[in-house]
Structure 1
Amino acid sequence: MRTIPYRLAGVAAVLVSLPLAVSPPVAAHAVEPDYTITVDPAATGAAIPRSMYGVFFEDINYAADGGLYAELVRNRSFEFNTTDASGYNGLTAWTVAGAAVVTNDAQRLNERNRNYLAVTGATTLTNAGYNTGLAVRRSDRYDFSVWARGSTTIEATLTTADGTALSAPVTIAAAGDAWKKYTGTLRATATSDAARLTVRTAGSVLLDEVSLFPRDTYRGRANGLRKDLAQKVADLKPGFVRFPGGCLVNTGSMYSYDAANNYPRARSYQWKDTVGPVETRATNKNFWGYNQSYGLGYYEYFQFSEDIGAMPLPVLPALVTGCGQNRATVDEALLQRHIQDALDLIEYANGPVTSTWGRLRAESGHPKPFGLTTVAVGNEENLPEEYWANFLRFESAIKAKHPEITVVSNSGPDDQGGTFENLWAKNREHGSDMVDEHYYNSPAWFLQNNKRYDAYDRNGPKVFLGEYASLDNKLYNSLAEAAYMTGLERNADVVKMASYAPLLANIDNVQWKPDMIWFDNDESWGSTSYQVQKLFMNNVGDRVLPSSATGNVLQPKPITGAIGLSTWRTAAVYDDVKVTRPDGTVLYSDDFGDGNADGWTSVTNRGNWAVTNGAYTQTTTDTEDTMVKAATIGETDYDYTLKATKTAGAEGFLVAFGIQETGQFYWWNLGGWNNTQGAIEKGITSAKEQILTKPDTVTTGKTYDLKIQVRGTKVTLILDGVEWGSFDDNAVTEPFAQVVTEDTKRGEIIVKVVNAQDSPAVTKVDLGGRKVARTAKQIVITGDPGEQNTRSAEPIQPVTSTVHGISPVFTREFPANSVTFLRIKTR
């Protein structure tokens, strides 16, 4: 279960249930400390803002509909179609016994709610909800509603999949040739996570917006949130909520139309589509490949932020795409409309009830302003010049009318590279308020970059780390994140906000992982990263006490391991594979002349590999990552050479090296990102971070000579005899990290120590002469670094205890693979 080659070995993981046994006070004379933490006795550290840590919500992994949004009926307004996803239609999630047709004509409920269901005669409609069905609990009440046009009797009941009743029916007498909303309440007679909503009509009628909500939503709000998920977010005590995305918002000028009706079926996310009565909100294609109802819209985001005491932080589209797309609007009228939408959003959040948009907020039930202070423009744009031009337009308009609003820019989709450097240079020169950084990297990266923000300009734009995570959901990933977070706090004068991402994932509908909180229809559980984030967010403090640490430092290891070949939606031919020492001595060679590839094994079990005409071929063009490997190289200096030819498909070559049994590897990606970019990527199983990127294209039918020259930790990449690029993966891994903060209101010092290695860390702590109590509250998260929390078990939990032996200078042993917080009263 190891993910990094530089781990200390040989010490068993410590049981979570025995924190006192594994973290005792240590007599100063008994053992030489591995580390020393020294708090500066005189220096004044940075103030830590209330907004230091927050959450980022995006409707990804079915996080909204079928997740945080408590609506139990799927496709309640019959709007699903193939634009949303292949196989979708107006009756997705519904079964019909009788005669009913999804209809779009002038009799519709309103212009945004286009489809309705025309029922002819006695008919039974059954909705299967999300995943396995509707989750209902015995004795709980559920609020049913339907919009109907026509005169007949409508009966609604909770049932099992085979039709057995799970509630007494509610009967509605619909009447009149105008749309009207009818309501009723169902009480569940049994508990089930696979229930159905069954609606029976006695005669012909038009139906729309068939809805069922649990009465017990978060804070009892109508059109509200699923209580357990909202409570898990609230328990984090976040300082801000970033919403609604992410890639969800920055699809720029993306539109597709229903040609028959000249109506947009997929449009960029626009906040005005998501407010007002839910039956007037247009559903939309979700960027992540499904339909989104917008029942969870901007009003609900603002309300939830207020409910949990967090600052709302909306992200607005800059009309320049990111997230793998490369488009920018050239429509000036469209750009102007979105700029006006940004100004209208501020009025919606903060304006008086006499204003146009403030009145709509008040009509929704919130006459008091929401107190919006910060907006972000754009997200991970891949076209820095086009994005920057648009950002300046947005910022200028917002500042002219609302100089009090903080406007957040961004630095693209990665922690380094040309786009990152370009946008940061522009933001520094311009004097932007704040810059949003995003990155998803390996645990090694987080352990190697604890000092990332130490060198940032204290007088430049502030940093909003809007999205980050280590690339898995195991405890070791969370330990690496925890170590990194000590660096964020130490640099609280530069890093003003940070949020792990994504927040939520439906275990049956996953587009991205890792994720912080997982759920199914009726259960939810926090990942190991949720527990770490909660520990930090509940114990921030309000000021940094400057401190330093000395002690053991692990050194990087040279790049060794198996060699590999792969493709990504591309067919390719590889030949003349050879690994040699620098003096030419052959370590491995295969020209496939014997007609077989006996030394090669599949890593991913994907693709169609075979030896054809004396070369190794992969022939599928619809398969991602077909990696095969051979020849584990134990030497530190070697050259890996081969010939590569693309025969068909979307991209180019993936040539892997340094492949470890743990799943770690490097690969040279030529012609990636739809044959537009090359990169060196460092991977942990399916997740990868980019070490080096540059524009690159591979020509179909052309044979390329590739050479990867490895010298310890340094790698040089040579394409057709010319150096393509190089890198040195020699960053020092620091498994031990610390920060000390002060909670002045409670009169406490908080010592935060991360020990992300397999051996305990005996540590001397010098509090700089401060007088402190003899005892402290200790909170420890520890366990097997390969462990993770799942639906069936959540073994990684914080354990709280009282510890003794605290003094101005004390020594403690911090467990292997642990995060430890000591809250110490000052005297």
Structure 2
Amino acid sequence: MPAKTYRRRTAVTAAATGTLLAGALCVTAAAPASAATDYTIDVDTAATGPQISDTMYGIFMEDINHAADGGLYAELVQNRSFEYNTADNENYTPMTSWEEVGGGGSAEVVDDDGRLNERNRNYLRLTLPGDGEYGVANTGYSTGIAVEEGKEYDFSVWARADGDGGTPLTVRLTDDRGEPLAEPLGLEAEGGGWAEYTGAFTASASSTAGRLAVTGSGGGSLSLDMVSLFPRDTFKGHENGLRADLAEKIADLDPGFVRFPGGCLVNTGSHEAYEGPDWPRERSFQWKDTVGPVEERAVNHNFWGYNQSYGLGYYEYFQFAEDLGAMPLPVVPALVTGCGENEATDDPELLERHIQDTLDLIEFANGPADSEWGGLRAGMGHPEPFGLTHLQVGNEEPLVEDFFERFVEFRDAIEAEYPDITVVGNSGPSSGGAGFDRAWELNREHGVELVDEHYYNSPEWFLSNNERYDSYDREGPDVFLGEYASQGNRFSNALAEAAYMTGLERNADVVTMASYAPLLAAEWDTQWTPDMIWFDNTRSWGSANYEVQRLFAQNTGDAVVPSTASGTPDASGPITGAVGLSTWNTSAEFDDVKVTSADGEELLGDDFSGGADQWEHITDAGSWAVEDGAYVQTETAGENTMVMAGDPEWTDYDMEVTATKREGDEGFLVGFGVQGSDEYYWWNLGGWGNTQSAVEHASGGAKSTVVSDDTTIEAGRAYDVRIEVRGRDVTLYLDGEEWNSFTAPAPEPFRQVVTHDEETGEYIVKVVNAQSEEARTSIDLGGAEVAPTADLTVLAADPDAENTAEERPVAPETSTIGGVDSSFTHTFPGNSVTFMRIAPRE
């Protein structure tokens, strides 16, 4: 049962909206603060904390949620080369997004020796009528091709007239009713071979449901491939470029780095090279497939359930990073899969080829224009090197030992030829657990400079783990937090992430890079729902999370100023809740459940001799029944079959149960602190395919690992399980032996960090107040002489607020306050993030 579930899902929410300009605050029905809580912030302005890296905040770009094709990549034609396939998506055909127009002819997608080139295998053959026109029209993505009146659009097609004479082509841009959106183009395809034909439209009307039609006339046959339509207005005006509004929103994040192209795209699928007609359609992202002329680039099955054109390839990624003034950070496959596939490749020739491909990539980025791969870069329009300094091998591989064996071979080869390149490692797909601990042990053992951590946890986890990096080894590897999010796009999610980011900055001597993920999401087709920037065909909008990320990036500062703050009174309470029993893709039985209070009072006793009336089903999965005096979950399928019993107000108790795995993939789960199907702790014994055991905490439906080890569970063996809960302290026993213990961290809603801007001399006080109460705060700047006013930027909204295409309730408000001195008081609104810039006294 993976801590991070990779599932092709349909989004149930669409998050986010608006322009990026700070303006008047629009708060939707925010509850008035019931009271103010008193806090103190003491800033040691005479001391200097860690320097903050220029790459502290960056972006991670992966083609998930149609982030590239249909999104950032500005191509308006979907399935432009007729390569869609059921291997990409069960609903795809080579004619997906195409429809016939005109009459008297026929259309056939062909894969034969007459193709445009070996990598672009399919093409469309039209049999044309002697009279009239016949051809095809493309419907674009989602509602259609978006066209704006007055804008210019560049058309191109590769065509071949299958005869000696020419064939007239007519290209039209219309809406979905056939009404023209621009003057048609008249072209003529010549006989004798494939050639590219181009033209341009100036839109005379606007539509979100445009169609691009290509028709021929005069009889005979006509072959078409790579039918393309681009807006002239791409980001920075590049050909084969990027959608301007999306790229500009990314630019407003002021990213210090761009990590690309994934993610699961990198380390899943086959690692074989292109091998002609039988080459695998589900392949890891390999850079050589994605460079050179776009018509000669391969297409690929996208891990997230659609087709990937590779029009946005490594060259375009490097170019985008350069345009943003950001450090490029490409990721290459390590021949160990992840994201639920979890397989290691043992072919030494394949490993050698991928290592050489990686060396060639460095030459492509940095080599002189007269080198083989540097020459390819120069031929694509960039004779100067891109200045690559960092490269990541692998992406969150859970097979830790297999990954490191291969990682070391990659790194040794890279350092031998390019000693100035920093090779980045990783620690797997979760924030803790046995695999995480082992990965970090190996990273330290092998002297890895920078380790990529990934985790997607609940908002409560982010509020509870601000001190995570306080105890990291200052002499060990630095941390690159390459993927993180709190599983939602509500303002409460953004508040929790903002609170956590104060801890990232406070530990800037350890955490040198961080990027929220995923970056982009098409409102019309998403596989992952907590995303930073959302879009449809004409609009894009930043989520609440985006607003937090943008403001932190624009108010980072150059160095941390040491500071301390008082905590929230009574922020931590005891673990409270009932008890539960569950399974995951396994049949198991439970007997002799007993719950006793700390003073010895029996709260629950059930040997199931009288049935199971005390237990409540809180999920839809599983089939529970009493058999031979035990409570049995009989199905071997179903992810979380939990039943619960007892009082959700219980605290300070012992739970005992005898549990036996019958059959299936995993072991069994014993819950405590159970509030419902989305709020609980459970002891997961024999989880993750019966490879380890862990205590996990679920909050808001998102789970995070608390403690773990490599305990596995035998089928048919009865285990005695005992869990002792005292306040927030938990001790766990298996067959009478202590298995582990922990103190559950408590969520703290008030967090702060102070940094210094060397250019302006300003102190930047950043305060997160993730509660409804105002925070009346005494701020002591340690005697610093400062200006009497300060500039404020504040995000404040209802915690359930979400930005959408139509509304933007989460938006920054700017103001100036007076009364600022070496010591002063300020009240921070409930449910807010504040950036206070205090200038030195003139």
Same fold (TM over 0.5): yes
* Residue 366 (structure 1) shift: 1.2
Task: Return closer, same or farther for 1:121/1:821 CA change in 2, 3 Å cut-off.
Answer: same
Task: Return closer, same or farther for 1:574/1:110 CA change in 2, 3 Å cut-off.
Answer: farther
Matches within 5 A, 1:591-670: 600-603=616-619, 606-607=620-621, 609=623, 611=625, 623-640=638-655, 650-660=665-675, 663-670=678-685
Query: Residues of 2 paired with 1:652 and 1:95: CA distance?
Result: 51
Q: Which residue is equivalent to 1:472?
A: 488
Structure 1 segment 470-509 matched on structure 2, within 5 A: 470-509=486-525
Q: What amino acid maps onto 2:245 in structure 1?
A: D
Give the AA of the match of 1:218: F
Q: 1:411 aligns with which of 422, 427, 440?
A: 427
Change (3 A) 1:653 1:570: same
Does 1:528 pair with 2:544?
yes
Describe the superposition over 1:526-571 as per-residue Cα deviations: whole angstroms up to 9, x where unpaired.
1111101101101111122222223545443222224445554556
Deviations 1:124-183 (A, max 9, x none): 323232223222223322222211121423323233334444333223211113111112
> What residue in structure 1 maps to residue 834 of structure 2?
820
The answer for the alignment partner of 1:394 in structure 2 is 410
Quote how far apart the aligned CAs of 1:674 are.
3.6
In structure 2, the residue matched to 1:366 is 382
Query: Do the aligned residues in 2 keep the contact of 1:611 with 1:617 (CA within 8 Å)?
Result: yes
Helix, strand or coil for the counterpart of 1:500?
coil
**How has the CA–CA distance of structure 1 residues 138 and 247 changed in structure 2, closer, same or farther, with 3 Å as cutoff?**
same
Q: Where does the alignment leave 5 or more consecutive residues of structure 2 unmatched?
A: 1-23
Query: 2:271 & 2:753 partners in 1: Cα distance?
Result: 45
Closer, same or farther: CA 632–519 of 1 in aligned 2, 3 Å = farther
Give the alignment partner of residue 52 of structure 2, picking from 48, 51, 71.
Answer: 48
Contact 1:663 1:685 in 2 (8 A): yes
Partner of 1:435: 451
Q: Judging changes above 3 Å, is the alpha-carbon distance between structure 1 residues 624 and 551 closer, same or farther for their aligned structure 2 residues?
A: closer
Q: How far does residue 428 in structure 1 lie from its aligned partner after superposition?
A: 2.5
Partner of 1:148: 159
Matches within 5 A, 1:236-247: 236-247=253-264
Aligned counterparts of 1:350 and 1:214: Cα–Cα separation in 2 = 31
Alpha-carbon deviation of 1:393? 1.7
**1:619-649 C-alpha deviation (Å, 9 max, x unpaired):** 7666544555454332213344556666766
After superposition, what is the alpha-carbon deviation per residue over 1:697-736, rounded to whole angstroms, capped at 9, x for unaligned?
56667776655443333344455x3558444343243322
Distance 1:638 1:60 in 2: 45
1:787 Cα shift?
2.0
CA distance in 2, matches of 1:453, 1:112: 47
Cα distance in 2 for residues equivalent to 1:702 and 1:749: 62
Q: Give the aligned partner of residue 38 of structure 1.
A: 42
**1:187-244 alpha-carbon deviations (Å, 9 max, x no partner):** 3343332333233233421211111212222122211111111111001111111111
Residue 305 of structure 1, CA deviation: 0.8
User: Bigger CA drift: 589-598 or 341-350?
Assistant: 589-598
**SS of 1:737's equivalent?**
strand
CA distance change for structure 1 residues 18 and 214 in 2, over 3 Å: closer, same or farther?
Answer: closer
Matching of residue 178 in structure 1 with residue 182 in structure 2: no
SS in 1 for 2:345: coil
Deviates more, 1:188-197 or 1:221-230: 188-197
Q: Which whole-Å CA distance do the structure 2 matches of 1:745 and 1:320 have between them?
A: 45
Q: Does 1:117 align with 2:124?
A: yes
Q: Distance in 1 between matches of 2:652 and 2:840?
A: 55
Secondary structure of 1:359 counterpart:
helix
Partner of 1:75: 79
Give the match's secondary structure for 1:264: coil
Distance 1:393 1:254 in 2: 17
Distance 1:180 1:571, change over 3 A: farther
Query: Using a 3 Å threshold, how does the CA distance of structure 1 residues 324 and 263 change in structure 2: closer, same or farther?
Result: closer
- Give 1:520 shift: 2.0
- Is the deviation greater in 448-457 or in 666-675? 666-675
Q: Return the match for 1:353 from 359, 369, 375.
A: 369
> Residue type of the partner of 2:128?
G
Q: How does 1:154-169 map to 2 (within 5 A)?
A: 154-169=169-184
Matched, 1:693 2:725: no
The aligned residue for residue 792 of structure 1 is 806
Q: Cα 1:598–1:738, aligned 2, differ >3 Å: closer, same or farther?
A: closer
Deviation at 1:347, TM superposition (A): 1.2
Counterpart position of 2:267: 250
Name the aligned partner's letter for residue 657 of structure 1. Answer: F
Letter in 2 for 1:415: S
Q: Which residue of the partner structure matches residue 291 of structure 1?
A: 307
- CA 1:176–1:619 in structure 2 vs 1: closer, same or farther (change >3 Å)? farther
Q: Is contact 2:568-2:749 (8 Å) kept?
A: no
Shift of residue 364, structure 1, vs aligned partner: 1.0
Secondary structure at the residue paired with 1:266? coil
Question: Aligned residue for 1:28?
Answer: none
Equivalent residue for 2:771? 757
Distance 1:588 1:124 in 2: 74
Unaligned stretches of 5+ residues in structure 1: 1-14, 25-30
Contact 1:257-1:266 at 8 Å conserved across structures: no
Letter in 1 for 2:184: P
Alignment of 1:718-737 (within 5 A): 718=733, 721-723=735-737, 725-737=739-751
Do the aligned partners of residues 584 and 822 (structure 1) sit closer, same or farther apart at CA in structure 2, a change above 3 Å counting?
closer
Describe the shift of the 1:256–1:49 C-alpha distance in structure 2 as closer, same or farther (beyond 3 A): closer
Please give the alpha-carbon distance, in whole angstroms, between the structure 2 residues aligned to 1:339 and 1:373. Answer: 17
Letter in 2 for 1:112: R
- Taking the aligned partners of 1:180 and 1:629, their CA distance within structure 2 comes to 68
| CA distance 1:466–1:549, change in 2 (3 Å) | same
- Residue in structure 2 matched with residue 683 of structure 1 by the alignment: 698
SS at the partner of 2:171? strand
Q: Determine which of 767, 774, 777 is the counterpart of 2:788.
A: 774
SS in 1 for 2:455: strand
Query: CA distance change for structure 1 residues 626 and 80 in 2, over 3 Å: closer, same or farther?
Result: farther
Secondary structure, counterpart of 1:396 in structure 2: helix
CA contact (8 A) 1:571 1:621 kept: yes
Matching residue's letter, 2:249? K
Match of 2:401 in 1: 385
- 1:132 lines up with 2:143 in the alignment: yes
What number of residue pairs does the alignment pair up?
A: 802
The alpha carbon displacement at 1:54 in A equals: 0.5
TM-score calculated relative to the size of structure 1: 0.90
**2: CA distance between counterparts of 1:187 and 1:784?**
44
Partner-residue secondary structure (3-state), 1:265: coil
- Give the superposed CA RMSD: 3.1
User: Equivalent residue for 2:10?
Assistant: none
Partners of 1:554 and 1:733 within 8 A in 2: no
Aligned to 2:533: 517
Q: Alpha carbons of 1:256 and 1:685: their partners in 2 closer, same or farther (altered >3 Å)? A: farther
Once the two structures are overlaid, the 10-residue window that deviates more, 524-533 or 442-451, is 442-451
* 8 Å contact kept, 1:374–1:408: yes
Output the CA distance in 2 between the equivalents of 1:508 and 1:643: 48
Which secondary structure does the structure 2 equivalent of 1:632 belong to?
coil
Question: Secondary structure of 1:340's match?
Answer: helix
Q: Deviations over 1:268-290 (max 9, x none)?
A: 21111111111111011122222
Name the amino acid aligned to 1:498: A
Greater mean deviation of Cα atoms: 120-129 or 533-542:
120-129
Distance 1:654 1:525 in 2: 41
CA contact (8 A) 1:579 1:641 kept: yes
SS of 2:498's equivalent? helix
| Amino acid in structure 2 at the alignment position of 1:118 | R
